[in-house]
Amino acid sequence: AAAAAAAAKAAAAAAAEVDAAMEALFKAYDIDESGELSREEFLGIEMRLNFEEGTEFRSMAGLAKMTLTDTDSSGTLDYEEFRTRFLSAYSDTNLTSSEIAELLNIQTQKALQERARMGPRYHAGIRAALRKLFSLFDVDGNGFLSPEEWISAQKTVAIEVSDDLDEGWIDEAAFQAADTNGDGVLDIGEFLESSFSMFEGVKKRTEDLLAILQRMVHLLEKELLDGKKETPPVAIWVQAKDKPVFQPPQEAWKDETTIEDPDEGADLWQEAGEIALPMNLSTAEDVAALLRLTLKKPPDTWLSLYFLGAPRDGGVRPVVLIRGERPGEGNVQAMLQYLCKPQADLRLFVKNMRKRPQKLTRQPRAFLEERDTIMNKRTGQCWGLDWETQLVGEGQKLPPRPMVVSIGDALVVEVPVECGPPLDRFTTGIYMDETTVLSKPVDENIVPKPKKKPKKKAAVVEPDPLLQLNFVAQKEGKCVLFVDVGWEDQEEPLALEHRLCRPVHENSIARIGPVEVEVQVPPPGTKTDSGVFVWWNGEKWSNKKGPAKKKGKKK
């Protein structure tokens, strides 16, 4: 058992290594940092990589590759499509997970090097440094650079980079030229474009430009933090309900406070305290630990934390998820600096409180080369838990523990995929105590059939795609697992789309489980119902998906 647990832990670590490498590669291709790859980005990087490697690039073949990878025909690639494309390329090899991760890391370095050769506009480090400078120049934190902030920034530039860059980069004339819409202030897009235009006329190596910008960032951060050890007092707001329910985003926003109706839902959040945040916090967990202590929550409580950023067009403040697993990553330092600005909204929002697993570890989905081997073992019945029955609103009770199945059966957990435009996809986290009794999850994309025939002249509404996670029973024993489903990272686009004043008050993460499964050897002569589905409705297993009907009292 110890050896199996160690092997499962090692496999999970290797898969996590591949996922981290894949994410880094996606970001290297994503030149405009939009979270999606356009045809131009995808083909531009691929073409330059082929040229550097001395191989011929055929644009039509590259376009076909992009089209095949773009499974939803959107004209762009999201991360999941990109991930599928690259993992498919490795599926016919005998490479280990560590070897795949190493190859992906090499590909990432090549892509970043090509971006650096393409000039400052495409250099990932320069784009990040300019965004940081914009935030530091924006002294009042309103998301725009005023003439006063511009002139103040000019003084810093004159002192720090006069020997390296043209001081005209941010002089009075440059401000007027950069203000393309004539509104008297600069937004981040105008600042980036004016900076790139200036850099393209400078005869300096890209890496030298990056070093200059990083020196400026360091100087401004030092000026900002001199004498400051903590932020002003920040109010902590929590969900008013003791047990908030989960709702998908397309429903969750409907009774929330908006810019147009600030009184709607005024009682859905409540203030639970106040705290000044130390300026030396560096990770999201640092912030969470401080808030758990303040709110008197157990140390094994997971939290989702949000702050409200500088107002965008129309006065809507973005709802920003606090991120950063390691120092230097994420947005914790940017948040602390922002909270010190005069126009900052001094509130933190805490939601999605849930227990952190102690004995269960996060498990990756099966790699492409493992899928067929695992699914060939699925020779019996499929026991289904669907997300709508289990999670939406009050949800339903879980099956009794332990849930007894036979070798060859499968526990199937069905989860949503798309949040709906303009949002991205749901995220899914799978936690298991081991992967030898039940297999690691194998995902299958499902397109459900429409429930009813549409009325005449009514538009046909395509059902949302679903993802089924198959946990195949492989040998006798017990396994405990749960699946977290959520959209916590999609609060920002949801708030901007519907002009919300804060995060939605309902949970944006929910948990299916924990489920304890006991796998037994079927008695001799037992007939297997291969592939037959039954669904848990909260009371019993049924051949129909959905919650059990409530029995009304007869009058």
Amino acid at 363: Q
Residue 458: what pLDDT? 57
Residue 62: what pLDDT? 41
Asked whether the CA dihedral 349, 353, 356, 362 is positive or negative, the reply is negative
**Planar angle of CA 480, 387, 468, nearest 5 degrees:** 75
Rounded Cα–Cα distance for residues 159 and 152 (Å):
11
Q: Which CATH class is domain 1-118?
A: mainly alpha
Alpha-carbon distances, residue 372 vs 80, 142, 472 (angstroms):
20, 53, 12
Residue 479: what pLDDT? 96
Rounded Cα–Cα distance for residues 336 and 378 (Å):
51
Residue 60: what pLDDT? 39
Amino acid at 498: H
Per DSSP, the residues of 11-59 read HHHHHHHHHHHHHHHHHHH-TT-SSSB-HHHHHHHHHHHHHHTT----H
For the chain, the distance separating the N- and C-terminal CA atoms, rounded to the nearest angstrom, is 58
Considering the chain, what is the average pLDDT of its residues? 83
Q: Which CATH class is domain 361-446+463-542?
A: mainly beta
Cα torsion through 111, 117, 121, 125, rounded to 10:
60
Tell me the per-residue pLDDT of 339-393, one tens digit each, with 9 for 90 and over: 999 899 999 999 999 999 988 999 988 887 788 899 999 999 999 999 999 988 7
Rounded Cα–Cα distance for residues 39 and 77 (Å):
8
The β-bridge partners of 232 are none
Question: Quick check: 380 and 409 in contact, CB under 8 A?
Answer: yes
Domains 124-228 and 361-446+463-542 share a fold: no
User: Residue 511 phi/psi, 5° resolution?
Assistant: -120, 125
Tell me the per-residue pLDDT of 421-452, one tens digit each, with 9 for 90 and over: 778 789 999 999 989 999 999 988 887 776 66
CATH ID of 124-228, from 3.40.50.1100, 1.10.1060.10, 1.10.238.10, 3.40.50.300: 1.10.238.10
Rounded Cα–Cα distance for residues 46 and 50 (Å):
6
Residue 496: what pLDDT? 92
Question: Quick check: 210 and 474 in contact, CB under 8 A?
Answer: no
Residue 24: what pLDDT? 87
Contacts of 151 (CB under 8 A, 6+ apart): 172
Phi-psi region of 273 (alpha: psi -120 to 50; beta: other; left: phi over 0): left
Residue 301: what pLDDT? 94
Q: Measuring CA to CA, which residue among 117, 105, 123 is closest to residue 47?
A: 117
Please give the structure tokens belonging to residue 345. 């909204």
Q: DSSP 3-state assignment of 415?
A: strand
Sheet (strand 427-432) strand order:
361-362, 427-432, 477-486, 509-520, 403-406
**pTM for the full predicted model:** 0.72
Q: Measuring CA to CA, which residue among 471, 371, 367, 357 is closest to residue 413?
A: 471
Exposure pattern of 477-488 as b/e (b: 16+ CB <10 Å)? Answer: bebbbbbbbbbb
Rounded Cα–Cα distance for residues 404 and 313 (Å):
56
Query: Which parts of the chain register pLDDT below 70?
Result: 1-8, 39-44, 46-75, 85, 88-94, 155-172, 202, 227, 450-462, 551-555
Domain ranges (residues) in the chain: 1-118, 124-228, 232-355, 361-446+463-542
